[in-house]
Chain A
Amino acid sequence: MNVLIYTLLTLWALMVLFPFYWMVLTSVKSYSAYNSEYIPQMFTLSPTLENYLEAFTVVPLARYFVNTLIFTVATTAIMMAVTVLAAYAFARLNFRGKNAAFVVFLSLMMIPSELVVITNYVTITNLDLRNTFLGLILPSVTSVFYIYLLKENFEQVPDDLYYAAKVDGTSDLKYLFKVMIPICKPTIVTIAILKVIECWNSYVWPRLVTDDENYFLVSNGIQAIRESGFGRENIPAMMAAVVSISVPLIVLFLIFRQKIMAGVARGGTKG
């Protein structure tokens, strides 16, 4: 019985790992070696890094990286600021219309991005923000779900702390930064990582609002490489580009494995 279970698990592990193995393998085969293999070889005895050199020189892969980095950092930072303030208002402050506002926010969670992307595209085009970072970032900032997630976490901080701080004359903003954020840091970090993953992989919105390759993100870059990049047939160089854009997220995942998996189990959606 155990043998059967381990066989099944190992088979699926191989299915998952094989594409990764194949992309790394292909990326270190030389162009001529790859194209002379009528029957694909499972390993290579003469690995080369020339494809990586080509990936970073023939196509502007480095620029795609920098663009993605700017987009990811800016989007995540703005989103965190907006989310923390809103979550704090819902969790801690009392104001007229709070419950009604919260219900509206919750119902917005059900709105699929595909419905709103059409008007956003028109809005950004009319504002002349195509092929700008502002146009890429602004519509990607909103995440109602994370406001909800953080609000739940903020509410677990005991009220006594708040009243004690109020007696001491601490302002709300100071209380938020000195007490709430440090206590809820694990959730905040999880949200930030999930947003970073989302930004790094985003494809649809960047494709709609950028057609100047100076503003391409890695997803659009890889698609451009596929359709015109290395003259179509240079598969090893293409795979070198694929490896390069996959590595940062895999490293991030291996460092924050527990946090990412717990975070996705609590609130991720994909698939």
Chain B
Amino acid sequence: MEKQSAKGWLYLLPAILFLGVFMVYPLIDVFIYSFEEGYNSASQTYYGVGLYNYSYVLRDPYFLQALKNTFILVIVTVPLSTGFALLISVALSSIRPLRNLYQTIYFLPYVTNTLAVGLVFMILFKKTPYSDGLANLVISWFGGEAIDFIDGPYWAKMFVLCLYTIWVVMPFKILILTSALASVDETYYNAARVDGTSKWRTFIRITLPMISPTVFYLIITGFIGAFKAYSDAVALFGTDLNAAGMNTIVGYVYDMLYGNSGGYPSYASAAAIILFTVVLTITCVNLLVSKKHVHYS
């Protein structure tokens, strides 16, 4: 047993080393940073312990802007993308010909570089002196006024960010929902057909309850993912998100750490911990709500 024990730990050693240095230690350290006041990264000194970093972050207008942006993004994209993915998946499950082709196409955004495709969205929506861009061309067909979606009004920028986020997260949701729909037992549908139940009623009474754990899983992961949004915004509006007024909470953390406004790991740590308190709270609320409404077989 002693020899076996040593061998087991030996096999685990590389994993433990990596996880210890780059995960466990940083996790403890981030809490320490967040309470050290006046930390100086050059001399690695600080002059006090307390909650100042938190109160600084919570009063920083850039953080409040980032908080607002992130909340809007979450509230708009999570329900829309989940609902729309459900619609597409149900439609996809009801056909046979071309199904594989559609599935392959729908998955493409998952394997593309977020930064790269974001640039395409940027040029589609950007208004330059040379051209109003394609999005504005479509708007003009319907008699609308040209808007700069990239450097223009806040709502327009938010619209593009939400649209791009939905475009990026749809593949995952469609994939998970179609496999959940495929695993619903056929006998339920056959029974419903014998009883002459309408399609809509079958969907509400059978399909939806059967896949509700999956839908719920997607809502939770969707919330967590949207709260951590960052690179989509960088792709559309560039790295100086504070200037564009389009920063997200994660973006605020990184900006505090690095770049022109960087060098403040204490503020970054406090902001990161605030973010995860929010995410944890919302996940717990979701779990409580789901106990009432989700059908676990």
Contacts and interface: CB of A to CB of B under 8 A. Distances in A.
Interface of A: 2, 5-6, 8-9, 12-13, 15-17, 19-20, 22-23, 26, 35, 37-40, 81-83, 85-86, 88-90, 93-98, 101, 105, 108, 111-112, 114-123, 138-139, 141-142, 144, 147, 172, 197, 200-201, 203-204, 207-208, 218-219, 222-223, 226-227, 233, 235, 238-239, 242, 245-246, 249-250, 252-254, 257, 260-261, 264-265, 268-271
Given A114-B253, A226-B238, A201 B113 contact: yes
User: Which of the listed residues B1, B111, B119 has the most CB atoms from chain A within 10 Å of its own CB?
Assistant: B111
A261 B114 CA distance: 18
B109 interface: yes
A115 B272 contact: yes
| Residues of A contacting B: mostly | helix
Given A8-B91, A142-B18, A204-B254, A115 B108 contact: no
A115 B113 contact: no
Nearest to A176: B11
Contact of B238 (A17, A20, A89, A227): A227
A200 B113 contact: yes
Interface stretch (B51-59, B131-139, B289-297): B131-139
A270 B172 contact: yes
A261 B107 CA distance: 8
Which range contains the number of B residues in contact with the other chain? 35 or more
Contact of A108 (B19, B107, B123, B179): B19
Contacts of B269: 118
A81 B172 CA distance: 28
Nearest to A42: B134
A246 B114 CA distance: 10
B292 to A, nearest CB: 24
Contacts of B102: 9, 13
Contacts of A252: 111
Nearest to B8: A95
Contacts of B179: 265
Interface stretch (B68-76, B189-197, B223-231): B223-231
Contacts of A115: 26-27, 30, 272-273, 276
A35 B222 CA distance: 39
A172 B75 CA distance: 52
Contacts of B119: 222, 226, 238-239, 242
Contacts of A105: 15, 19
A216 B5 CA distance: 43
